Amino acid sequence: MNLNLEFSQNKEVRLESITRDGLVIERGGTGELSFMWSSGVRALCYVLLRASITDPCQQFELTNEGPVNSLRSSLEGAFKKETNRWVRDVLGDAASEIFTFQTRAHKGSNIYVLGLNYDVLTPSSIQITLNGRKQFAEDIIHLSDQILKKAKWLGPSIEIRTRNTPPPPLKLTGLCNSFRFITFSGVSSAGKDTILASVCESIPSATILKKYTTRPERNREWNYCSAGIDEDEFWKLVQLGKIIFPYEKRDYFYGFDADEFKDAALFGRHLFAVFTHFTEVPKCQIQLKSLKVKTQSYFIEVPEEVAVRRARIRFDISHTERHQRVASIQQDFEDLKSLNLDENYIRVQNLEYQAGIEDTRRAIIPSLKQFLTNEQ
């Protein structure tokens, strides 16, 4: 699809017409091939203007809750309500295929993430003209700022940021046949890190893959390259290919050291990783299967009351963090209801805090050693 957005500017910047694959849709009137200069169309224009000069790996985050006629609510209504047809009127029947639109919770509120489906519409296929003259990057930024400035309904709190997602595909410069990747996951306070450390004492060839996170640093965190890094810095490292398998859990982002992973693959090491959120493991498995990486995943099972008790007696986190951790445990058990553990994991139990760790280690070692030595 190709789009040409024709703007005019006298006292105010207005969209005059959109030409979609040679079909002209003009402002004014009530026909099927016309549109009004409404708040929704302003929102659409802003997104398309910014998208025309944006890297294809980026999306827009609309972080404000906003009033009824805000950019966020206008777009949300256009995408979610069948009775609201203005996006379809402007962009045709393919409108629903052009955009990706989702909602996710972040730090107690909702973030609305809007992106383009670049299989349908790429930045280079969006052309912008103003009073008959083609506009380039600097002009387009100024034009979009004019729309934002005049649109009082956006409010001063609007923040639109681009995030590099999805991450660039993982590429391996070499893959040794002896390389193995083993993951540990489970609900919060299941004892994942403690059990992993115990297991690795029995596996001399084990290397633990370091993590990055935007979560504030805690005491005794030996398995992190960096904790408490800024979100923008985190996603910059993702874009540069320094962080792999990025994911979010409870308002924080996590990912793994790409260089360490690639080195282990090249030299055939046995690499272990703890996934803070178990729902991300199947996605990782799919990606590594396409790269022919041999993987095995363990899920540490624990009763909810045991996990809650462990969270309440932790001394390395604050009182507030303990309450948050209990809430996280409860949410984890809700998330478990939609996960097929038998399909993606080897399930092992960690019922007690001290004796249970040794029992869990003994339960893991036989299948783990078989996996590490299997040449198939």
The pLDDT profile of the chain, 376 residues, written as one tens digit per residue, is 888 999 998 878 889 988 888 888 888 866 667 778 877 787 778 878 877 876 555 566 665 555 545 666 666 666 666 555 667 667 766 666 777 766 666 666 666 667 677 777 777 889 999 999 999 888 888 888 888 776 544 443 344 454 545 677 888 888 999 999 999 999 998 989 889 988 998 888 899 999 999 988 776 566 677 777 888 788 888 878 899 999 888 778 899 999 999 999 999 999 999 998 888 898 899 889 989 999 999 999 999 998 998 888 877 777 788 888 898 899 999 888 878 888 889 999 887 655 567 888 889 999 999 999 886 5
**What pLDDT sits at residue 72?**
63
In sequence order, which residues have a C-beta less than 8 Å from that of residue 266 and are 6 or more positions away? 172, 173, 174, 175, 176, 179
Question: What is the helix (H) or strand (E) element at residue 341, kind and residue range?
Answer: helix 341-344
Q: Are residues 146 and 20 in the same domain?
A: yes
Both 150 and 209 in one domain: the answer is no
Residue 172 lies in a domain: no
One domain, residues 143 and 256: no
Q: Would you state the pLDDT for residue 110?
A: 65
Looking at the domain assignment, is residue 364 inside a domain? Answer: yes
Same domain? 87 vs 228: no
- 215 and 242 fall within a common domain: yes
Q: Which domain holds residue 368?
A: 180-373
- For residues 188 and 295, membership in a common domain is answered with yes
171 is a domain residue: no
Last residue of one domain, picked from the residues 133, 164, 195: 164
Q: Indicate the Cα dihedral angle 198, 202, 207, 213, nearest 10°.
A: -10
With beta carbons less than 8 A apart as the criterion, state whether 191 and 310 touch: yes
Asked whether residue 122 falls in the same domain as residue 270, the answer is: no
In the chain, the number of structural domains is 2
Helix and strand element counts for the chain (H, E): 13, 19
In a domain, 35, yes or no: yes
Q: What is the pLDDT of residue 154?
A: 45
Residue 130 shares a structural domain with residue 80: yes
What is the model's pLDDT at position 48? 85
Does residue 174 fall inside a structural domain? no
Q: What does DSSP assign to residue 250?
A: T
CB 78 within 8 A of CB 40: yes
| CATH number, residue 318 | 3.40.50.300
Instruction: State the chain's maximal CA–CA distance in angstroms.
Output: 77
Whether residue 143 sits in one domain with residue 186: no
Q: Is 170 part of a structural domain of the chain?
A: no
Answer for the pair 113, 79: CB distance below 8 angstroms, yes or no.
no
Tell me if 169 is assigned to some domain. Answer: no
* Domain edge (last residue) among 129, 164, 199: 164
DSSP 8-state secondary structure symbol assigned to residue 35: E
Q: Are 308 and 202 members of one domain? A: yes
Residue 253 within any structural domain of the chain: yes
Is 359 in the same domain as 216? yes
Q: Are residues 204 and 336 in the same domain?
A: yes
Q: What is the pLDDT of residue 162?
A: 47
- Residue 155 has what pLDDT? 41
The Cα 126–Cα 137 span in angstroms is 12
Q: Which of 164, 196, 221 is the last residue of a domain?
A: 164
